[in-house]
């Protein structure tokens, strides 16, 4: 089996603060793990240490129960796909895909059947004689995937592999990579800063922040029960609204009945997702429209609620509202999130009946 385990891994470059700071997580065999987080949070460094391209300052890495911390990349049974596809321009698609097999001197008799299988899997059959310069960005990306898949390594590591593609192609390739991972039972660790990519592909999301793990959870849990304000705001488009629970907001919310009353004592902010707020003439929370953004299937109303500007509310269809218009809002107390002064999520007090 090819479960990956990182045990208290740190990486420090010179005297700079640690790029990766005591992180531990497990990527179970045959699952899709995404390392997610803003630029500079340590995702690529973590991936490079799993690959063996960087050495941890401390901690151990195990793959399939074997301690690989001191092994070179070639002995880790992994395949890698990077942002730059790094295809050889002078080689045909066929030779690019076969390159690794030839270098590793795998039996020649295996080359053709494995190439045929990979080409069929990725729809590259008709392109095998072309050079990379004769391919579109999406086709080049498929060749890079083919080169990884043909190795039949049980572990595949990908670092922002879709960032050079346009939005539509990214969407298609997301599905293809996920299907490939599931069909082949690969253990995947995938780096991205794009939360949509993480949410739509992953079994497990390791959300990083400043070299540490902020939250390690399934996409569902990350969305539904963020452990911090950082997690709450990193997931979702637009992100979760975070309202300051100052006196004015508290008194506005108090009018709506139970919600504000349920705020734990230590709460300084209240989080509510745009899709969980309803525009409702019978709602009890007043707000003022600043702007409406129309996206086709839905609209995002940007409103001011008490002293909180830029509160986003998702409404179905094309909502027509004027700037300065007063609207009434409603949300369910069960959709609220509370955070303390450090940004840590607080458990909501139980609803009194
Ligand atoms: P991410 O992939 O999340 O954008 P990285 O892992 O690339 O972040 O980088 C994490 C931190 O480590 C950054 O502050 C970056 O500048 C630093 N870093 C990465 N590689 C090196 C290196 N080879 N030498 C010095 N600092 C580095």
Q: Which residues contact 35 (CB under 8 A, 6 or more apart)?
A: 43, 46, 47, 189, 190, 191, 192, 206, 208
Quickly state the pLDDT bin for 353 (edges 50, 70, 90).
very low
Q: What is the pLDDT of residue 97?
A: 94
pLDDT on residue 257:
60
Q: Are strands 58-63 and 32-36 parallel, antiparallel or unpaired?
A: unpaired
The whole-chain average pLDDT of the chain stands at: 91
User: Which residue out of 6, 9, 13, 39 has the highest number of ligand 1 atoms within 8 Å of its CB and is therefore the one to mutate?
Assistant: 13
pTM: 0.92
Query: Closest Cα to atom 17, ligand 1: which residue?
Result: 19
Please tell me whether residue 117 adopts helix, strand or coil conformation.
helix
Residue to substitute in 14, 39, 40, 57 for testing ligand 1 pocket (most ligand atoms within 8 angstroms of CB): 40
- Give the pLDDT band of residue 348 (cuts 50, 70, 90): low
For residue 265, report the phi and psi dihedrals to the nearest 5 degrees: -60, -40
pLDDT tens across 236-252, in order? 999 999 999 888 887 77
pLDDT in tens, 48-62: 999 999 999 999 999
- The dihedral region occupied by 272, where left means phi > 0, alpha psi between -120 and 50, and beta the remainder, is beta
Ligand 1 site: residues with CB under 6 angstroms? 13, 19, 37, 39-45
Q: Is the pLDDT of residue 352 over 70?
A: no
d(C-alpha 312, C-alpha 303), whole Å: 6
Upper half-sphere CA count for residue 5 (Cβ side, 13 Å)? 9
CA 53 to ligand 1 centroid distance, Å: 13
Atom 21 of ligand 1, residue of closest alpha carbon: 13
**What pLDDT band is residue 262 in, cutting at 50, 70 and 90?**
low
What's the pLDDT score for residue 162? 86
Q: According to the CATH classification, is domain 4-227 in 3.40.50.300?
A: yes
Q: How far does the centroid of ligand 1 lie from the alpha carbon of residue 258, in Å?
A: 46
Cα of 208 vs centre of ligand 1, distance in Å, is: 13
Q: Whose CA is nearest to atom 23 of ligand 1?
A: 13
Lowest mean pLDDT among 22-31, 76-85, 117-126, 213-222: 76-85
Cα 43 to ligand 1 centre (Å) = 8
Q: Report the candidate in 81, 95, 77 with the shortest Cα–Cα distance to residue 132.
A: 95
| Rounded distance from Cα 18 to ligand 1 centre (Å) | 9
How high is the pLDDT of residue 163? Answer: 83
Q: How far is the CA of 152 from the centre of ligand 1 (A)?
A: 30
The answer to whether the beta carbons of residues 320 and 326 sit under 8 Å apart is: no
CA distance 290 to 323: 5
Q: Which fold has domain 231-346?
A: OB fold (Dihydrolipoamide Acetyltransferase, E2P) (2.40.50)
pLDDT tens-digit map of 225-235: 999 999 999 99
Considering just the CA atoms, what is the radius of gyration of the chain in Å?
24
Nearest CA to ligand 1 atom 25: 13
- Rounded percentage of the chain residues whose pLDDT exceeds 90: 70
Determine the average pLDDT of the residues in 132-161: 90
Look-up: residue for tokens 């509160």?
311
Which residue has its alpha carbon closest to ligand 1 atom 19?
A: 45
Q: Quote the pLDDT of residue 258.
A: 56
Evaluate whether 4-227 and 231-346 have a shared fold. no
Average pLDDT rounded to a whole number, residues 309-333: 94
Q: Could you tell me the distance, in angstroms and rounded to a whole number, from the CA of residue 19 to the centre of ligand 1?
A: 6
| Lowest mean pLDDT segment, chosen from 105-109, 189-193, 255-259, 290-294 | 255-259
What does the domain layout of the chain look like in residue ranges? 4-227, 231-346
């Amino acid at each position: 089996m090819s479960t990956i385990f990182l045990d208290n891994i740190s990486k420090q470059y010179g005297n700079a603060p640690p790029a990766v700071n005591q992180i531990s997580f497990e990527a179970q065999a045959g699952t899709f793990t995404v390392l997610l987080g803003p630029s500079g949070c340590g995702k690529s460094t973590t991936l490079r240490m799993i690959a063996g391209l960087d050495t941890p300052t401390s901690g151990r890495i195990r793959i399939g129960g074997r301690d690989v911390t001191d092994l070179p990349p070639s002995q880790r049974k992994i395949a890698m796909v990077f942002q730059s596809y790094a295809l050889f321009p002078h080689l045909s698609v066929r030779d690019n895909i076969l390159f690794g097999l030839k270098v590793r001197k795998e039996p020649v008799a295996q080359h053709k059947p494995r190439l045929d299988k990979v080409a069929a899997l990725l729809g590259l059959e008709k392109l095998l004689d072309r050079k990379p310069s004769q391919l579109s960005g999406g086709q080049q990306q498929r060749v890079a995937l083919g080169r990884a898949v043909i190795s039949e390594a049980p572990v595949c590591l990908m670092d922002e592999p879709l960032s050079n593609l346009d939005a539509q192609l990214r969407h298609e390739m997301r599905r293809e990579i996920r299907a490939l991972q599931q069909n082949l039972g690969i253990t995947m660790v995938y780096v991205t800063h794009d939360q949509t990519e993480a949410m739509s592909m992953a079994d497990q999301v390791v959300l990083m922040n400043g070299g540490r793990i902020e939250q390690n959870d399934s996409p569902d849990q990350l969305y539904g029960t963020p452990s911090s304000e950082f997690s709450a705001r990193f997931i979702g488009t637009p992100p979760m609204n975070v309202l300051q629970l100052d006196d004015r907001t508290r008194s506005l919310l108090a009018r709506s009945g139970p919600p504000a009353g349920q705020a734990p004592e230590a709460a300084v902010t209240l989080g509510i997702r745009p899709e969980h707020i309803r525009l409702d003439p019978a709602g009890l929370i007043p707000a003022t429209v600043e702007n409406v953004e129309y996206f086709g299937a839905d609209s995002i109303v940007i409103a001011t609620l008490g002293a909180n500007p830029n509160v986003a509310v998702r409404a179905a269809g094309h909502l027509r509202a004027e700037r300065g218009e007063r609207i009434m809002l409603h949300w369910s107390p069960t959709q609220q999130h509370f955070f303390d002064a450090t940004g840590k999520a607080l458990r909501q007090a139980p609803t009194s009946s």
